[in-house]
Structure 1
Amino acid sequence: MSSSRPGSSLEDLDLTGEEAARLAKAFQDEEFKRLFAEYAAELSDPAQRATYEAEVCALERERGVEARFLHPEPGWALRTSLGGARKCYLNICANALVGKPEAEAEVGRRGCTWRLPHCLSPGREELGRGRPPGGEPRRCLVYDVLFHPEALRRARREPRFREVLHQTALEAVEKHFAPQGLDRANARVLRGVKYKGVPQASLLRLAPTRSGPFPELRTWIYPRAHCKCL
């Protein structure tokens, strides 16, 4: 049960009454507020974040694993549902580390088949809008699917290519994280929304290769990776 105090800014956090009371009491302490502000500033400081990511990659390298943080560049968001019941969103994003789209000619047929390398991260819960009377806050699932920037540029220009990209994203999420199925028929682009939720970087771990420390992200899938590249 969340805090019942009218207009409380803690309501959207979905805390128990005891948790909300403890947090409200903590914010009355000036030292706690100062330390919390410093912590929040560090989290939002790009330099601090870059230092943290470099340290993580260095530690992984000591273990014989190459790692990279993939930062999603927001493109647009698809709205659909999981299993016909739970609302979910796919953020279609760009990252230059992902392989470029490739066209393959089909023998004896006009046109071509597109190969769209992509990376995706496991779904995460985000708070949705509003809450039922007397109920819990509405929650939705959010997935990030990353393509090369060229894929997003072409999708913006060509409706047929955009449909292929959307179906690729939906199929990938279904295959790896949503076996109960997504509602592909009713998947829709959210107007005016570039990204649903708060952008989060994904950590990708890869084994080094003889040709170089970090291969192009194309068809790699590792069980220990925090995101999958296909």
Structure 2
Amino acid sequence: MDYTDKMLKYKENCIKKNEELLRNGVFVMDTGNVYIDEDVEIGEDSVIYPNVHILKGSKIGKNVTILPNSFISNSIIGDGTTIDSSKITDSEVGENSVVGPMSHLRNHTKIIGDARIGNFVEFKNSSFGRGSKCAHLTYIGDSDVGEKVNFGCGVVTVNYDGKNKFRTTIGDGAFIGSNVNLIAPVKVGKNALLAAGSTIDHDVADGDMGIARSRQENKAGFGDKYKNK
């Protein structure tokens, strides 16, 4: 069997799978443009949009919405969750969460539930507590994040020194300001606050604020002088 025959056979199997799902209460919008492996399980009342790939080992709950251009492999998606144009591999997303658009979850990431993972966010080998939010432009790697933690824009867990990987731990209720670097190994306590623009390389205790940035200095008239030189 040549490559073309294999692809035609795969397409045929996918259509059969999609038609089976339709009979079992899953709304597959375009049976000819959704690619689901035979062993995938999907709960009733879930909605699968066109150009979605769900590969072997995956289990999708009830009332899940998977929007176009999503790729899911060997992962579990909980009931009531929405996946928007995102890639999820070897990971788990708990119930009533929103992921995407353009998020990437990989390497045994576990989103506990009721979470918000926004656009251009990457998780790697991390856990993310119930009700926590990470809205945009953030990397969370090798981290254990508690419940109801809020991440601002542009946060990075600096987990790799070129030779070894280190973990970051963040307690329940912490607030991580925008453009914060967390240099692992480091621990941030419960209800701690990290000021925007900080590079944190020491532990921050429960309820404390961590701030690590130089003070601003304004030079009078220098802007005009520079532009007019």
Q: Report the TM-score range of the alignment, normalised by the length of the smaller protein.
A: under 0.3
1 or 2 for the larger relative contact order (CA 8 Å, sep ≥6)? 1
TM-score computed with the length of structure 1 as normaliser = 0.22
Per residue, is there more strand in 1 or in 2?
A: 2
